[in-house]
Amino acid sequence: MNPLRSGRVLWAAVAVAAALILVATLLIVSRGEESPRPNIVLFITDDESLGSSEVMPNLRAWLVEGGRTFEPGLVTTPMCCPSRASIFSGTYAHNNGVLTNRDALELDSGTTVQRYLSDAGYRTGIVGKYLNAWPRDVTPPHFDYSAVSHGTEYEGGTWTVNGEVEEVSTYSTEFIGQQVEKFFESSDGRPWFLVISTTAPHSPAVPEPRYARAEVPPPQDNPALADRDRSGKLPVEARYNFQSTRRFHAAQLRTMMSVDDLIGDVDDALQERGQKEETLALYISDNGLLRGEHALTGKGHPLRPAVEVPFYMSWPGTIEPGADERLAANIDIGPTILDAAGLAADTDHPMDGRSLLDDWRRSEILLEYEMSGNFVSPSWASLRSRDVQYIEYYDDDTGEVIFRELYDLIRDEWQVTNLLAGGGDPGFDVAALSRRLQSYRSCSGRDCP
């Protein structure tokens, strides 16, 4: 029996039901052996929580209603730079070395999808944010075309465009669109890989003037927003102001309206070039944010609003649209891209994720985080399944466990009640959970869950 539960839930039943769902809605339409390598576009937003698609009709038409939606989509480390390193390398932070926002140069560029694709003859490009604190005078390796931002400015800012540092006055999302257009205009007939990585909706979340007063839906009330006394939670300083948090939520949605315009422009460009059906498109945020849930704000927490993100995939004629309930994560993007291109990672640098073009299902996944900067959470690791999340927080000097949380995501989807608070029987084998978590914290490749 899987130790995530102690005599109450049979994972076999879950697996059978999942298999039946998979048979009923096939993920991949059969492709011939001689199918050409697809173009690949990867959209990465910055600090986008779930719910933005409400104001993004172009995104919904292309990638939500027209693609696979991963429910939930997860990030294995809910922090910008580590998450992006995991996206590009297909590996956990404990394997790629990018543990905090200060560790960009720890990433071995030779293990990234851009390196594999470039070596295979793809034309590669990145426009927007790459990795936090990336040096201005260093062009991101293995990209033929690059226009990289250095900060979170929306109006103005410093960019490095194909190796040349320049000051930009154009609104950030509009400038990204201009650079994307130049990438397409300079096409040389090769299949291409393009990363489009927006500033939005990262703070300070400054909307484009035409959307500055646009109507946006308010955040939906939920039990996590009412959970303000933090009973049974990790004892950290609560950081929450109701009014400012709601204003920030509205500002974020308004910045995403410009991102949606950009997505519509890319969609139009692909259709004009007759490339829509030969392009694999992926969309993910580097992390989510708490915006008042459990009286907290920000990233770096193991709770659902920080680790669950928008995650979509579209390949018209190849991938059937629909909801996908697998535990899909950012570490799966690299393997998916290589699989689509008919490539594989080097055997001495295995990827920890799995291709989303296959029909596998994982029963659980590792989440991890190392204390970073002025963020309130200490280091932690977590074991997450579809119905349970177990969390251990660690002393950053000794590495010893200082606090534990356990949530039944079926009965308590908003994680209000820590089952380990109060001294009662949680109904789970906590010792077995801890052993499994510890074994995964150093996993690599196929040893990862």
Q: What ranges do the domains of the chain cover?
A: 37-363
Contact at 8 Å (CB) between 178 and 170? yes
How many Å is the Cα radius of gyration of the chain? 21
pLDDT at 11: 37
Token pair for 30: 């059969």
**C-alpha distance from residue 128 to each of 44, 110, 131, 194, 280 (Å):** 9, 21, 10, 11, 19
Q: Whole-angstrom distance between the N-terminal and C-terminal Cα of the chain? A: 16
Percent above pLDDT 90 for the chain: 82
> Which amino acid, residue 449?
P
pLDDT at 28: 56
> Which amino acid, residue 96?
N
d(CA 238, CA 245): 13
Contact at 8 Å (CB) between 154 and 171? yes
> Which amino acid, residue 269?
A
User: What is the rounded average pLDDT for all residues in the chain?
Assistant: 91
Token pair for 108: 């071995």
- pLDDT band for position 243 (cuts 50, 70, 90): confident
Higher local confidence (pLDDT), 32 or 381: 381
Higher local confidence (pLDDT), 335 or 15: 335
- pLDDT band for position 13 (cuts 50, 70, 90): very low
Helices and strands (H, E) in the chain, number of each type: 11, 19
Q: Is the pLDDT of residue 7 over 80?
A: no
d(CA 162, CA 144): 8
372-388 as b/e: b if 16+ CB within 10 A: beebebbbbbbbbbbbb
d(CA 225, CA 399): 31
Neighbouring C-beta atoms of residue 281, cutoff 10 Å: 27
pLDDT at 235: 86
Neighbouring C-beta atoms of residue 49, cutoff 10 Å: 24
Contact at 8 Å (CB) between 125 and 143? yes
Contact at 8 Å (CB) between 42 and 195? yes
Q: Smallest Cα–Cα separation from 280: which of 351, 353, 182, 193?
A: 193
pTM equals 0.93
d(CA 430, CA 413): 19
Token pair for 312: 């979509």
**C-alpha distance from residue 441 to each of 92, 345, 429 (Å):** 9, 22, 19
The answer to whether the bond into 201 is cis (omega within 30° of 0) is yes
pLDDT at 220: 86
Adjacent-strand bridge partners of 390: 383, 406
**C-alpha distance from residue 181 to each of 41, 196, 274, 429 (Å):** 13, 11, 16, 55
**C-alpha distance from residue 238 to each of 100, 124, 290, 292 (Å):** 22, 43, 11, 9
- pLDDT one-digit tens code per residue, 41-80: 999 999 999 999 999 999 999 999 999 999 989 999 999 9
Contact at 8 Å (CB) between 127 and 180? yes
d(CA 117, CA 59): 26
- Rounded average pLDDT over 3-31: 42
d(CA 404, CA 394): 9
Contact at 8 Å (CB) between 253 and 52? yes
- pLDDT band for position 2 (cuts 50, 70, 90): very low
Q: Assess if CATH 3.40.720.10 describes domain 37-363.
A: yes
Higher local confidence (pLDDT), 5 or 175: 175
- pLDDT one-digit tens code per residue, 385-438: 999 999 999 998 999 999 999 999 999 999 999 999 988 889 999 999 999 999
Higher local confidence (pLDDT), 12 or 213: 213
Query: DSSP state, 129?
Result: -
d(CA 197, CA 42): 8
- Rounded average pLDDT over 138-153: 96
Cβ-based neighbours of 209, under 8 Å, separated by 6 or more: none
- pLDDT band for position 1 (cuts 50, 70, 90): very low
d(CA 366, CA 110): 24
- Rounded average pLDDT over 126-152: 96
- pLDDT one-digit tens code per residue, 277-295: 999 999 999 999 999 899 8
d(CA 172, CA 64): 24
**C-alpha distance from residue 392 to each of 109, 110, 151, 302 (Å):** 31, 33, 32, 10
